[in-house]
A and B are shown apart, each in its own frame.
Chain A
């Protein structure tokens, strides 16, 4: 059973460009979470999604960031008009139910130049 998959593993964008981060949850998992980690800090929750629904986006910046988890395909975290402060590691996690332990992917390291 493959783990949580994230791609790309590394992404370089210039200021103003768009970044698209993809997450495929573990098989049988319908709950997806996105976290952001700045250097030397703990992970910060961004958004929690189920298939076709955003359940909790309290950790998402109000502008430029959006997330989706369509009926088919991976979950997408989209950052428009990236700025240097968006440079971080973005981790996706999935769980079978909302209260089960979360399994994390390897992360996508975004660098904004």
Chain B
């Protein structure tokens, strides 16, 4: 499974756009990139998944450059309730996602 590197923490204010970048230099051809969100005292929650270019859903956007060695999770206009830990995971859905490998994640703090 490809190793990922993310910033340990980020700070933002309500209403701002937040971009969290994840490095995955040894991503394999069949690997997908998935982001999870975890609030305190809760289990992680799937946010978004992508393979290349851009994916957008009602919660976030995921930008993946052509070389796929990094990805950026973009949260538009964050609110206080977006304060959480965000995990970037890389793996092949057909083989690697049976055991999700979580790093330490990025702790996002949104202030008023």
> B104 in the interface, Cβ–Cβ < 8 Å?
yes
Q: Can you offer 27 A-B residue contacts whose CB atoms are under 8 A?
A: A33-B98, A35-B100, A42-B87, A42-B102, A42-B104, A43-B44, A43-B100, A43-B102, A44-B102, A45-B99, A45-B100, A48-B98, A55-B98, A93-B43, A98-B97, A98-B98, A99-B93, A99-B94, A101-B34, A102-B97, A102-B100, A104-B42, A104-B44, A104-B45, A106-B41, A106-B43, A107-B43
Taking beta carbons and an 8 Å cutoff, which residues of B are in contact with A? 34, 41-46, 49, 87, 93-94, 97-105
Contacts of B41 in A (CB 8 A): 106-107, 109
Contact with B along A43-84 (1 / 0, CB 8 A): 111001000000110110000000000000000000000000
Q: How far is the CA of A35 from the CA of B34 in the complex (A)?
A: 17
Contacts of A99 in B (CB 8 A): 93-94, 97-98
Interface size bracket, A side: 20 to 34
